[in-house]
């Protein structure tokens, strides 16, 4: 059985404010949540930043390669903040970065960032080392 660790609503609220503080001097035109895990953090950031929310379906886990483009109706001169709960391997963010390379500016944000992956997120609340900590993170919206 895989070990688990629980992430609380209190931690979430604190981490969202930390992410917002890291963005000082930069503001997206759109907040983009990656479904499913990135939706709750993206909704919260959308409200705090007072920016429209978009939803992106992109799943590369479990042998799936399913990344749906949805931003074609958004002008390319817009700045996008791509949000997920965890940047574990970095593959999802890397794929999205490739797919959306024509946009003016894209920044990436995760509550948790695995320090062992190659993709560098612009904003992160917590760093984890998946070589040392293999616990599955249970987010409060998953309970």
Give the pLDDT confidence of 85-117 residue by residue, as tens digits. 999 889 889 988 988 888 889 999 999 999 988
CA angle 120, 89, 18 (to 5 degrees): 50
Give the pLDDT confidence of 15-64 residue by residue, as tens digits. 999 999 999 999 999 999 998 899 999 999 999 999 999 988 876 665 65
Residue 47 lies in a domain: yes
Domain limits for position 114: 28-142
- C-alpha closest to that of 119 among 96, 91, 100, 99: 91
Residue 44 lies in a domain: yes
- Number of domains present in the structure of the chain: 1
Residue 18 lies in a domain: no
Residue 114 lies in a domain: yes
pLDDT, residue 68, reads: 64
Crossing angle of helices 9-22 and 39-49, in 10° steps, is 50
Residue 89 lies in a domain: yes
The token pair that represents 53 in the structure block: 């929310």
CATH number of the domain enclosing 99: 3.40.50.2020
Quick one: DSSP state of residue 45? Answer: H
> What is the C-alpha to C-alpha distance for residues 2 and 13, in angstroms, rounded to an integer?
26
The model's confidence at residue 135, banded by pLDDT at 50, 70 and 90, is confident
Per residue in 102-124, is it b (16+ CB within 10 Å) or e — as a string?
ebeebbbbbbbbbeebebebbbb
The model's confidence at residue 137, banded by pLDDT at 50, 70 and 90, is very high
């Amino acid at each position: 059985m895989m070990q688990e660790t629980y992430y609380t609503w209190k931690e979430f609220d604190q981490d969202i404010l930390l992410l917002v503080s890291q963005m000082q001097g930069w503001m997206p035109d759109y907040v983009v949540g990656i479904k499913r895990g990135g939706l709750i953090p993206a909704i919260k950031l959308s409200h705090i930043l007072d920016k429209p929310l978009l939803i992106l379906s992109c799943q590369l886990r479990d042998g799936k390669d399913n990344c749906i483009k949805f931003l074609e109706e958004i002008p390319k001169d817009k700045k996008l903040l791509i949000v997920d709960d965890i940047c574990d391997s970095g593959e999802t963010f890397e794929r999205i970065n490739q797919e959306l390379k024509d946009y003016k500016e894209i920044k990436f944000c995760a509550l948790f960032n695995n320090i062992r992956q190659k993709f560098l997120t612009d904003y992160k609340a917590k760093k984890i080392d998946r070589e040392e900590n293999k616990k599955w993170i249970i987010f409060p919206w998953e309970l």
